[in-house]
Amino acid sequence: MAGVSVDEAIQSLSVTIGATVPTGFEHTAAEEVQEKIGAIARISKDRGRIYFEISTVHLHKVHHLKSVDNLFVVVKHYDNYQFKETKEEALLDLQQLAPVLPWDPALEVWKINNSLKKKRGRRRGAGPPKLKTCDASEPVQPQADVAELKEKPEGTCAEQEPNPEGEHDSDIQETEAKPLKFRVTCNRAGDKHSFTSNDAARDFGGAVQEFFQWKADMTRFDVEVLLNIHNNEVVIGIALTEESLHRRNITHFGPTTLRSTLAYGMLRLCKPQMSDIIVDPMCGSGAIPLEGVIEWSNSFFLSGDNNDMAISRTVNNINHILKKKQDGGSISPGLSIDTAQWDLCNLPLKTSSVDIITTDMPFGKRMGSRKRNWDLYPSCLREMARVCRPDTGRAVLLTQDKKCFTKALSRMGGLWRKTHTVWVNVGGLHAGVFVLRRMAALFGSTPEDVREPRMGCVSQDDNIEENVQSSRSE
């Protein structure tokens, strides 16, 4: 390698990065990867994952992706792994796999990743290790079988921040030759396996421990080895993120706060253009407009809700981002966003004044009720059609109450046309993101415009908020 130093060669390793993304938004995430990193992503058979090749010189870029929850570097990918029939044989194979895997490039990436985190940590000022409280905001993977190498201590989450950012024991190991601490997390899906994820994590983990002479530690680990098994697809990886990136903007959570990664996916479907006016009329804690104003700063965002607690959460979340901007020395003074308390069915906005409406509607479970949705949804669609610009206006609306939404939409043919639906998993619930186009008809000129006064709107008291945290899993 004439003229290339060993350091340079290491820095420009080509590796496969895996990312977990909100189920249903795999294609959106692949688009973002192509746009921001220039890599073509492969969408896994296992829904909710994408893979792409990068050179390690671009590793920092993957942490800026907005549609990914967790990142890992792939050690080895088997597209069609043949599991033996009996439990003993299948587990023995997994044990024998550990010492023959090509660990070195992935561990090199893990080290580079740690030094990147160290740099970021220094910029932000690394704090002491935090024990995360359990909330329900992790996606529920129905039928998925997840286990770590050892039992978790009671009352802690599977994910626990191992160390302050960048203070990995790898550094200690170099100076004091302490063994690294690790854990194995196994995600298994498929009904043809003779073993559980616990069995796989335990036996594969044991073999990893023996091979590297690392120390197993469920909570203060340096390395998290991932064993993802989906039918016959097996992917072994090393985690590059310690906590899901979907929590990035929100400090004041509400009962149905949407993941920032889902909010990003919805906004991408809106295709925001420069100077667009974008409204979230049921903003809750503001996940959608906050994500929007950070990523699409050339548009103007308006967020509103009829619930005063929701409004104060949004305002607090905006203030938190503003403070972070100021502390980071940003020269741009503010954010192009405003918040108001309003009733969606009587918006204080001019007719035909809005380019995009995007919102996460009450599913009618934790928020509102299914019965009230029969009145609320038609009123929403009508008022949204009034404020949205004819012909060019669009709406991207999330709901799990698909029957009610589809019925309401079918009565609005003159005002809205559905272009497509993206099916997503929201906290274990099957929901639809409906992409609508505003028809050319002026508001007031179609039979759909007529409505009974104030029909369908609810007072804020109707939006009873349970004091439970969730990932928008009503």
Ligand X SMILES: C[S@@+](CC[C@H](N)C(=O)[O-])C[C@H]1O[C@@H](n2cnc3c(N)ncnc32)[C@H](O)[C@@H]1O
Binding positions for ligand X, rule: CB under 6 A: 254, 256-258, 281-285, 287-288, 305-307, 310, 343-345, 360, 362, 367-368, 457-458, 463
Query: In angstroms, what is the minimal distance from the CB of 203 to ligand X?
Result: 41
Sign, Cα dihedral of 205, 207, 210, 211: negative
* Contact by Cβ (8 Å): 462, 368: yes
Write a three-state SS string for 387-412. HECCCCCEEEEEECCHHHHHHHHHCC
Distance CA 266, CA 253 (A): 19
Tokens of 386: 């009034």
The torsion defined by the Cα of 378, 381, 387 and 389, in degrees rounded to 10, comes to -140
Q: Of 205 and 362, which CB lies nearer to ligand X in the complex structure? A: 362
Query: In angstroms, what is the minimal distance from the CB of 295 to ligand X?
Result: 16
Query: In angstroms, what is the minimal distance from the CB of 420 to ligand X?
Result: 21
Distance CA 305, CA 378 (A): 17
Distance CA 116, CA 311 (A): 36
Query: In angstroms, what is the minimal distance from the CB of 388 to ligand X?
Result: 16
| Matching residue, tokens 């949804």 | 377
Q: Of 41 and 337, which CB lies nearer to ligand X in the complex structure? A: 337
Question: Distances in Å between the alpha carbon of 21 and those of 24, 65, 263?
Answer: 8, 11, 12
Closest of 342, 408, 339 to residue 373, by C-alpha: 408
Q: Of 201 and 424, which CB lies nearer to ligand X in the complex structure? A: 424
Q: Of 144 and 457, which CB lies nearer to ligand X in the complex structure? A: 457
Q: Of 93 and 375, which CB lies nearer to ligand X in the complex structure? A: 375
Tokens of 164: 């302050």
Residue 55 neighbours by CB distance under 10 Å: 13
Closest of 25, 10, 12 to residue 260, by C-alpha: 25
Q: Of 276 and 383, which CB lies nearer to ligand X in the complex structure? A: 383
Distance CA 151, CA 206 (A): 14
Query: In angstroms, what is the minimal distance from the CB of 379 to ligand X?
Result: 8
Burial per residue of 97-123, b for 16 or more beta-carbon CB atoms within 10 angstroms, e otherwise: bbeeeebebbbbbbebbbebbbeebee
* Contact by Cβ (8 Å): 102, 279: no
Residues 6+ apart with CB under 8 A from 202: 147, 149, 150
Residues 6+ apart with CB under 8 A from 136: 427, 468, 469, 470, 471, 473
Q: Of 240 and 345, which CB lies nearer to ligand X in the complex structure? A: 345
* Contact by Cβ (8 Å): 233, 81: yes
Query: In angstroms, what is the minimal distance from the CB of 251 to ligand X?
Result: 13
Query: In angstroms, what is the minimal distance from the CB of 325 to ligand X?
Result: 20
Query: In angstroms, what is the minimal distance from the CB of 262 to ligand X?
Result: 9
Query: In angstroms, what is the minimal distance from the CB of 337 to ligand X?
Result: 14
- Residue least distant from ligand X (Cβ): 284
Distance CA 438, CA 314 (A): 28
Q: Of 168 and 247, which CB lies nearer to ligand X in the complex structure? A: 247
Q: Of 240 and 426, which CB lies nearer to ligand X in the complex structure? A: 426
Query: In angstroms, what is the minimal distance from the CB of 413 to ligand X?
Result: 23
Q: Of 16 and 400, which CB lies nearer to ligand X in the complex structure? A: 400
